[in-house]
Structure 1
Amino acid sequence: MTVMIRSRLYFLGVALTLAACGSPKTPVINMNLKEYQLTSDAKGHYLNQRQAFSSDDQWLVYDNRNDGSQIGLNPSIEMVNIGHGEVKLVYSAPNANAFGPGVGAVAFNPKQNEVLFIHGLSNHDTTKPYGITRRTGLAVDLDNNNKLARKDARDVVPPFTPGALRGGTHAHSYSGDGRWISFTYNDDVVAVLSKTDSTKKDLRNIGVMIDKEPVSVKNETAESFSGDVFSVIVSETTENPKPGSDEIEKAYEEGWVGTNGYLKPDGSRIEKALAFLGDTRDANGQLVAEVFIVDLDVDLSVADPERPLEGTAASRPFPPAGVRQRRVTYTTDRKNPGVQGPRQWLRSLPDGSLIFFPMKDDSGFVQVHAVSPNGGDARQITQNSFSLDTSFSISADGIYLAYGYNQEVYLTNIQTGETSKVSPERSYDSTDLENINWSNSGHTLAYNRKVVTADGAWYQVFILK
């Protein structure tokens, strides 16, 4: 087995000189960079699928799941130094048991030494276990004695509070400037209502936490509490989308568009926007996932008349005034329509000019495609004779995609489509390559493998430098 690093590692410079692709399926170049295993103890070390690196690229943060679906059973967050292998405990949940609270999916702020992760509610028990409507975002300030801060406020008792949510946040992601936070969301009020009202469903949406004043909730309990930021839902879903329309029944897998937004055709800049997947129904009523975008260039604390930000007892929270989601892809006429492939939160180029997503080509292989946030035809980026089987990450300079196939790590040049296998031959038994992250500098790739030992198979953290 590869040993844990005990001395500082230095970047191994590698020039990736790739020829332009000449055929629909390009050959793979083997490059075999040096791989280092950073963790080795007999427990899970599960990276988030994005923002796992600290802003200075010296640390990787992770939770201790050994099963990606078991956040509710995980009690702790750790981080490991990529130079000397030191491991630090970041957070340990009090009163953890089989019902919660559950912590996981931890991300680093790109501009400051803060991490943010899912935290289940504190009143977890057999009747109220960790669940998708019962979680919040908890931040740890690593420069201030690991001080804790609850981000999103929650208020599940009418009259609801503007800026507070009524359910669970998940998959938190910082904007490029580190000031705003995106998340996916499930509403507890509507989820409870759906048990007695067949016209209501618990539909996933996306939202944003903005750097506005803290939100105070009256009569705080374990179910309702104040938070440090103002939160709003920015997508809109419906229980019964009209076939062939742009209505959606689920909004999910969101990603920030660009480090500082994107340019519109007239040259003006949208400084903050989110791309996300929306589940539509085609003309025949079949489910098709498409790419949507929502521009966030208005005052998100202002509500439309009769559409309260906080929702009502019979409705989900409404988007702010002037916020409307827009469909970007139209793929129903393709041989293999819709976004398909491994679970993937949407990515974009640093300048925001392209949004990336997985979709099958006409041969049935899952390839990475891209589309402008302003709409238009999608462009196929990878030209491989195989389907990628992990999520992908984009280098800080916008030149390369990194992803996995058959337990190997690959790079694809976004301009040429040329693909290189960069992971070396392994001397250890492993499975489950996942969660490939590119560092902020672009010099390092990090990912998970489940390493098989006599004590079991455990998610460990690896890097390629």
Structure 2
Amino acid sequence: MFYQEQQVTLDKRNHQLTNINVWTSDSQWLVFDVRPNSASFTGLTIEKVNIKTRQQKQIYGAKNGAYVGVVTVSSENPPRYAFIHGPENPDKNWHYDFHHRRGVIVNDMAPNIAENIEAMCITPPFLAGALRGGTHVHVFSSDNSRLSFTYNDHVMHECDPALDLRNIAIAIPYHVINVGIEGHKKHHREYNGHYYCVVISETTPVPTPGSNEISRAYEEGWIGRNGYERANGEKQRWAIAFIGDTCSLDGKIVAEIFIVDLPEAAEKYAIAGVNPIQGTETAMPAPPKGIKQRRLTYTHEHNYPGVVNQPRHWLRSSPDGSKIGFLMKDDKGIVQFWLVSPVSGVMQQISKSAWHIQSAFSWDSEGRYVAFICDNSVMLCEIPCGKLIRLTDRSDLPPLGDAVVISPDDSYVAYLRNIAGYQQIFIVATGIV
């Protein structure tokens, strides 16, 4: 069943969608940035477009040599927009980089006014609740109270770039972090933040082969709208799954899935474990007491082990939190859609396609389908039978794999195509009833 796809943006610019949370809650607006492409962070504005009228509105415009991009939107009304903000007044020593960027939020009622998500403190003594570097892909939790993101560390990068390992961090509504009185900070690049932020993953530069140690934590996702149910029937309200790079016994990097259960009470995030929450001059910030990552998948013995990195995708759970979706090759080497339980770690191959899945994916609101690109078409995959439903005709060039996002009301899928040299936003009806 093919539906008539609709081109939403028509102007001669590149339009970039993030992989999740790009729809406003009424399913009428899509948020985007205008980077030349997903690998070049030189966009100047955050914008939104109405899918019916094609009206475009600017949400935020960067100033003083800064760049912005990778926007997501909360499910509130009026909404808030979270995105990456590069440094203002960059110079040769401080310019946009993984460890030199911050997350900001703009309220729909006050466009062009950005509030920092995290604080940054890069001079000792470091400050618990502040981070020390750069954050990326800021995703609101289902209740919009907190955000998750990946994190790189300036202090460790200055110490030794090999020690600046990518990790997962979160922002929680505990209290505002004031690094110092304005104008009297120890470093002019430091700033205050509106959330209390902590790193929740643990990495090591050289994981022990065959162990659960990882050298990199990335592509995280909140589990469930309200967490997940443990084996004993109790509810785990807050949890995040992420991909971690392990080392196999033969020395190869194998990407596996990990989970972190998180406390409910905000004050528990301020209790240090063995190592300081704020980090030291020679060590990364550490997770608070009781926060410990747990490995879910063990795929080293598969013909094609590990979660795939191409296409790039993010772990996304079903709305009820009972299943975490990911992409991995089957025994024939075809990239398929899989599920894993956050409780048992039992994996289930869902799709059995003759073609590789070519993109990131998203769930519908009830966990009945996921949407992705396959065989150069936008497709729905029915859960759990794995039936593929082709929504767009097969094209010579596939839609771009960066984002394939179902609207909150399940009516449309938003995605990107290259048209006459520009990335344009498209939508297609899902037919979901």
The interval holding the TM-score normalised by the smaller chain is: over 0.9
| Mapping 1:291-370, distance limit 5 Å | 291-297=257-263, 299-340=267-308, 341-370=310-339
After superposition, the Cα gap between the structure-2 partners of 1:429 and 1:349, relative to the gap in structure 1 and judged at 3 Å, is: closer
The amino acid that maps onto 1:446 is: A
Amino acid at match of 2:379: Y
Aligned residue pair count: 421
Among residues 105, 119, 126, which one is paired with 1:153 in the alignment?
119
Alpha-carbon separation, structure 1, partners of 2:113 and 2:234:
40
Counterpart position of 2:137: 171
Distance 1:222 1:123 in 2: 11
| TM-score, normalization by structure 2 | 0.94
Q: What is the CA-CA distance between 1:388 and the residue it aligns to?
A: 0.7
* Whole-angstrom CA distance in 1 between matches of 2:215 and 2:11: 42
Query: Contact conserved, 1:329 with 1:375, CA < 8 A, in 2?
Result: no
Aligned-partner residue type, residue 427 of structure 2:
I
Give the CA deviation at 1:95: 2.2
In structure 2, the partner of 1:252 is 218
Task: Say whether residues 1:88 and 2:78 are aligned partners.
Answer: no
In the alignment, the residues of structure 2 paired with residue 248 and residue 305 of structure 1 have an alpha-carbon distance, to the nearest angstrom, of: 19
What is the alpha-carbon distance in structure 1 between the residues aligned to residue 255 and residue 403 of structure 2? 22
Instruction: Summarize the alignment of residues 2-401 of structure 1 with structure 2, pairs less than 5 Å apart.
Output: 31-71=1-41, 73-96=42-65, 101-112=66-77, 113-194=79-160, 201-218=163-180, 219-220=184-185, 222-297=188-263, 299-340=267-308, 341-401=310-370
Residue 312 of structure 2 contacts residue 402 of structure 2 at CA under 8 Å; is this kept in 1? no
What is the CA-CA distance between 1:397 and the residue it aligns to?
Answer: 1.2
CA shift for structure 1 position 240:
1.5
Which residue of the partner structure matches residue 463 of structure 1?
427
Give the whole-Å Cα distance in 2 for the aligned partners of 1:416 and 1:165: 43
Shift of 1:70: 0.8
Aligned in 2, Cα 1:376/1:431: closer, same or farther, shift over 3 Å? closer
Separation in 1, partners of 2:97, 2:229:
38
Q: Deviations over 1:234-278 (max 9, x none)?
A: 000011211111011100000000011000000001111000000
CA distance in 2, matches of 1:296, 1:350: 18
The SS at the match of 2:287 is coil
8 Å CA contact 1:117–1:137 kept in 2: the answer is yes
Does the 8 Å contact 2:60/2:111 carry over to 1?
Answer: no
Structure 2 residue 407 is matched with structure 1 residue 439: yes
Kept after mapping to 2: 8 A contact 1:153/1:216: yes
* Equivalent of 1:409 in 368, 378, 381: 378
For residue 360 of structure 2, give the secondary structure of its aligned residue in structure 1: coil
Secondary structure of 2:69's partner? strand
What secondary structure is seen at the aligned counterpart in 1 of 2:158? helix
Work out whether residues 232 and 300 of structure 1, in 8 Å CA contact, stay in contact via their aligned partners in 2: no
CA distance in 2, matches of 1:207, 1:266: 28
In structure 1, what is the Cα distance between the partners aligned to 2:370 and 2:168?
Answer: 25
Q: Which moved more, 1:74-83 or 1:254-263?
A: 74-83
| Whole-Å separation in 2 of the counterparts to 1:228 and 1:304 | 21
Distance 1:116 1:376 in 2: 32
Residue 413 of structure 2 corresponds to residue 451 of structure 1: no
In the TM superposition, residue 424 of structure 1 has moved relative to its aligned partner by: 3.8
Could you tell me which amino acid in structure 1 is paired with residue 279 of structure 2? G
1:131-188 CA distance string (max 9 Å, x none): 0000111111002345321111001011111100001000111111011100000001
Query: Secondary structure at the residue paired with 2:220?
Result: strand
**SS in structure 1 of the partner of residue 156 of structure 2:** helix
Structure 1 pair 309–36 and aligned structure 2 pair: CA distance change class (3 A): same
Shift, 1:128, TM fit: 2.3
Q: Distance in 1 between matches of 2:76 and 2:225?
A: 12
What amino acid maps onto 1:270 in structure 2? Answer: Q
Contact 1:34 1:424 (8 Å CA) reproduced? no
Aligned-residue sequence identity (percent) comes to 38
- Which residue does the alignment assign to 1:4? none
Give the conservation status (yes or no) of the 8 Å contact 1:397–1:442.
no
Misfit runs of 4+, over 3 Å: 144-147, 219-222, 428-434
Q: CA deviation at 1:306?
A: 4.8
Deviations 1:77-134 (A, max 9, x none): 11001121100011110023xxxx2211100012241101000122312332210000
The CA deviation string for residues 380-400 of structure 1, in whole angstroms up to 9 with x for no partner, is 011100111111111111111
Deviations 1:376-427 (A, max 9, x none): 321001110011111111111111111112431011101211111111467x
SS in 2 for 1:32: coil
Aligned partners of 2:102 and 2:63: how far apart in 1? Answer: 15
Mark the runs of 5 or more structure 2 residues left unpaired by the alignment. none
8 A contact 1:433–1:450 mirrored in 2: no
Which amino acid is 1:409 matched to?
A: V
**SS, match of residue 404 in structure 2:** strand
**Quick one: structure 1 residues 287 and 310, their matched pair in 2 at CA, closer, same or farther if it must change by over 3 Å?**
same
What SS does structure 1 have at the residue aligned with 2:269? coil
Aligned-pair CA distance for 1:206: 0.2
CA distance change for structure 1 residues 194 and 425 in 2, over 3 Å: closer, same or farther? closer
CA shift digits 1:274-297 (9 cap, x unpaired): 000000011122111000000012
How far did residue 76 of structure 1 move? 1.1
Question: Which is bigger in relative contact order (C-alpha 8 A, separation at least 6)?
Answer: 1
CA distance 1:284–1:351, change in 2 (3 Å) = same
**SS of corresponding position for 1:159:** coil
TM-score by length of 1: 0.88
- For 1:461, give the aligned amino acid: I
Larger Rg belongs to:
1
In structure 2, the residue corresponding to 1:333 is in which secondary structure?
coil
Matched with 1:21 is none
